[in-house]
């Protein structure tokens, strides 16, 4: 039990962060059909915003506030300049956003250099649980991530904006005939998705090495979570994130990271083959 509890907490922490990253991907992919290969770089930029605020001597909370605002504004510019021209054209979005991801990484290298950076953990100390000590910041991160996931769920399930967004996701043609401005919904949904990526990057920055390649480590598992859980309902991201994140984290500890990665891909392939729309997904209107 002493070994099981910390491993379980680590897995839960990873799952919640992965779901937070995948939520932004799901909003963009599930609603607009945009396969955003630059989502990992937006996550990375959120982490670099935290590095910049720390270098400037600003408090940690300032980075948490600034990261989603700056990355959200960047997402708005990207949507207006690029994404709005390629809605529902998956192959085009892959190429366009892949090129964008390369450009963003090179800009970061030019500004910050290729070396890695670190962010000071804002909350030192640990808490004793069941006979072992666990970092307090990780517990706070789990709580904040769970709150953000719940808040996103509330926005999309309990508000007028969410009702219109779900209508556009499920039946875009019908939603347009009912007078919903689908272009506006696409734009602000993309901004919300990118802002979530930036916020996730800022929150995770104290726990990982911040470097220009860090986004890829969360982009691939994020996409797998959506494909496994389903791109339609928000609950699908929770299920997909739990499957992908849980299996990867637990097997990496109990067996080996390589075996964990192979198992994750096998599970994802089997689920996609047997249920292409995902575990909780439904076929959407073309």
Residues in the chain: 286
| Residue pLDDT, tens place only, 173-200 | 787 888 888 788 888 888 888 998 999 9
Least confident range from 29-33, 71-75, 247-251: namely 29-33
Domain that holds residue 88: 4-120+132-212
Q: Is residue 220 part of a domain?
A: no
| Residue pLDDT, tens place only, 3-13 | 667 777 888 88
Q: Is residue 256 part of a domain?
A: no
Question: Residue 108's pLDDT is what?
Answer: 94
Question: Residue 1's pLDDT is what?
Answer: 47
Q: Is residue 39 part of a domain?
A: yes
Q: Is residue 255 part of a domain?
A: no
Comparing 110 with 240, which gets the higher pLDDT?
A: 110
| Residue pLDDT, tens place only, 124-148 | 878 877 677 778 888 888 888 888 8
SS3 assignment for the chain: CCCHHHHHHHHHHHHHHHHHHHHHHHHHHHHHCCCCCCHHHHHHHHHHHHHHHHHCCCCHHHHHHHHHHHHHHHHHHHHHHCHHHCCCCHHHHHHHHHHHHHHHHHHHHHHHCCCCECCCCCCCCEEEECCEEEEHHHHHHHHHHHHHHHHHHHHHHHCHHHHHHHHHHHCHHHHHHCCCCHHHHHHHHHHHHHHHHHHHHHHHHHHCCECCCCCHHHHHHHHHHHHHHCCCCHHHHHHHHHHHHHHHHHHHHHCCHHHHHHHHHHHHHHHHHHCCCCCCCCCCCC
Cα 160 to Cα 152: distance, rounded to the nearest angstrom? 13
Question: Residue 105's pLDDT is what?
Answer: 93
Residue 286 above 60 pLDDT?
Answer: no
Give me the number of domains the chain comprises. Answer: 1
pLDDT average, residue stretch 229-258? 77
Q: Is residue 86 part of a domain?
A: yes
Q: Is residue 244 part of a domain?
A: no
Q: Is residue 97 part of a domain?
A: yes
Residue 284 above 80 pLDDT?
Answer: no
Q: Is residue 37 part of a domain?
A: yes
Residue 282 above 60 pLDDT?
Answer: no
Question: Residue 237's pLDDT is what?
Answer: 78
The mean pLDDT of the chain is 83
Q: Point out which residues pair with 126 in neighbouring strands.
A: 135
pLDDT average, residue stretch 75-81? 91
């Amino acid at each position: 039990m002493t070994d099981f509890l910390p491993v379980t907490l680590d897995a839960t922490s990873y799952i919640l962060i992965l779901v937070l990253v995948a939520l932004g991907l799901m909003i963009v992919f599930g609603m607009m059909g945009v396969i955003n290969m630059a989502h990992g770089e937006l996550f990375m930029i959120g982490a670099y915003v935290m590095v910049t605020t720390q270098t400037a001597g600003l408090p940690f909370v300032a980075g948490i506030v600034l990261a989603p605002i700056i990355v959200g504004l960047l997402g708005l510019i990207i949507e207006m300049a690029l994404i709005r021209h390629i809605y529902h054209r998956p192959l085009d979005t892959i190429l366009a956003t892949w090129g964008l991801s390369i450009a963003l990484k090179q800009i970061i290298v030019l500004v910050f250099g290729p070396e890695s950076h670190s962010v000071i953990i804002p909350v030192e100390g640990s808490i004793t649980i069941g006979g072992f000590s666990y970092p307090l910041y990780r517990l706070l991160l789990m709580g904040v991530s769970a709150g953000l996931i719940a808040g996103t769920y509330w926005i999309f399930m309990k508000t007028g904006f969410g009702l219109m967004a779900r209508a556009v996701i499920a039946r875009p043609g019908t939603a347009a005939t009912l007078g919903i401005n689908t272009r506006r919904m696409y734009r602000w949904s993309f901004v919300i998705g990118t802002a979530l990526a930036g916020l996730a990057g800022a929150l995770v920055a104290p726990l990982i090495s911040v470097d220009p390649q860090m986004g890829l480590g969360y982009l691939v598992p994020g996409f797998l979570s959506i494909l496994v859980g389903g791109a339609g309902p928000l609950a699908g991201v929770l299920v997909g994130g739990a499957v992908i994140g849980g299996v990867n984290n637990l097997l990496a500890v109990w067996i080996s990271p390589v075996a964990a990665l192979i198992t994750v891909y096998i599970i994802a392939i089997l689920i996609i083959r047997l249920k292409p729309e995902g575990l909780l997904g439904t076929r959407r209107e073309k």
